[in-house]
Copies of this chain bind each other. A is one copy, B any other.
Amino acid sequence: MSDIRTRALACRDAAPAIAMLDADARRALLRDMAAAVDAHARAILDANAKDMAGAADKGVQGAMLDRLKLDASRVAAIANAVREVANLPDVVGQVTRREIRPNGLAIERVRIPLGVVAMIYEARPNVTADAAALCMKAGNAVILRGGSEALHSNLAIAAALHEAMDRHGVPREVLTIMDDLSREAMVQLLQLSDIVDLAIPRGGEGLIRFVTEHARVPVIKHYKGVCHLYVDRDADPDVAMDLLLDGKTTRTGVCNALETLLVHQDIAPSFLPRAAEALRAKGVELRGDEASRALAGDMKPATEDDYAAEFLDLILAVRVVDSLDDAIAHIRRYGSDHTEVIATRNETTAAQFVHALRSAVIMVNASSRFSDGGELGLGAEIGISTTRLHAYGPMGAESLTIERFVVRGEGQVRHPESRTG
């Protein structure tokens, strides 16, 4: 038996220890895990220094190096994030529905943990604590497979978390960190369909494709966000401007940032020049169709690729559309099912937009940047699913559980004629 399988089996066998804790005990455990991160800050920073040196030796630079780097305030933020998860309402055992059947059977739908969740991620060490906390909050055991650049940091964070688990009598196997970071080991993990209930890859498109192609366990994907703002003929132009600037300029490297602006032809002559000016003042490069360029000039022509792109940068694709239907057709063709926004004062138009599109999140007169677990009231999020199965959109602790049936009767049978005597 491979070492990967042995460790995964140990994780699965330990899972009841976290699933069966009551809500208070699970909260106390997570609070202690947060405290342990604080208490071990020095060791975590030392480990991170090794990772940073190793990455520098390999020539890692810029944003990737920044994602890897920890300092005292980032370690404190990691601990605080775990504390926030600890304080969320407990979801395990929650009764979501009750029904009494005509034959007297009392049927409840009750949330239970998924079981074993495997997180596959890249360089950010904070994911180690975030994912462990959220999975365990939902009563799951977790197998973490982070990036090799961050291995020392991840092991140091895990060591802190394990120490807290020891104090609560929760076996360390509940939080299993993979230290064999080879591709072969990852593939082995992804094929353990009798052990792993769900794999969640977080990272670049390459990682996500690799996981999808090799997995025999269920995968929830977090692909790119090509988010659209459609400024309707009946939009309040001030609201539309606010949504545009908030969506494009406040943070560009996130999946809920805007990538494409669609403007109804009736409002484009007044709206587009004003929008272009404000965007350019914030350093945004515009790429437009012919109609946009005629109205707001000084714009590169937009290509097909631009309309499909997640720029993650101060770049915005622009198009003037003839109608609501035209906007919907554009989004259906180029969208990524993540988040779409409409600015309109016309409720019928808004309802048509919502009805025609099947993206995970539709915003009516609200910024795409609210497409986030915290902002939508889920507490912390483990990611944003663009897979239309199990969870769609921001995923919180609840998405790491499943509803099962608990039925209580008084001896009811389906075929009473089967009774003896």
Contacts and interface: CB of A to CB of B under 8 A. Distances in A.
Nearest to A347: B408
A126 interface: no
Contact of A218 (B16, B197, B366, B387): B387
B358 A115 contact: yes
Contact of A413 (B115, B193, B367, B411): B367
Interface string A367-385: 1011100011100000000
A49 interface: no
A194 B393 CA distance: 17
Interface in A387-412: 387-394, 402-412
Interface residues of A, number: 77
Contacts of A411: 236, 238-239, 242-243, 365-366
A246 interface: yes
Which of A359, A388, A403, A407 is packed against the most chain B CB atoms within 10 Å?
A407
A32 B389 CA distance: 30
Which of A105, A375, A405 is packed against the most chain B CB atoms within 10 Å?
A405
Nearest to A247: B413
Interface string A339-364: 00000000000100011101111111
Chain copies in the assembled complex: 2
Given A376-B107, A389-B114, A402-B392, A414 B369 contact: yes
A99 interface: yes
Nearest to A193: B212
A188 interface: no
B407 A361 contact: yes
Contacts of A252: none
Nearest to A359: B404
Interface in A104-133: 105, 107, 112-115
Given A367-B413, A405-B361, A356 B16 contact: yes
A87 interface: no
A389 B20 CA distance: 19
Given A246-B415, A358-B404, A392-B402, 8 more contacts: A197-B388, A212-B216, A241-B419, A364-B407, A365-B410, A370-B412, A390-B390, A392-B403
Across chains A and B, which 9 residue pairs bring their CB atoms closest together, nearest first? Answer: A366-B409, A246-B413, A239-B411, A390-B390, A369-B414, A250-B415, A361-B405, A367-B413, A364-B408
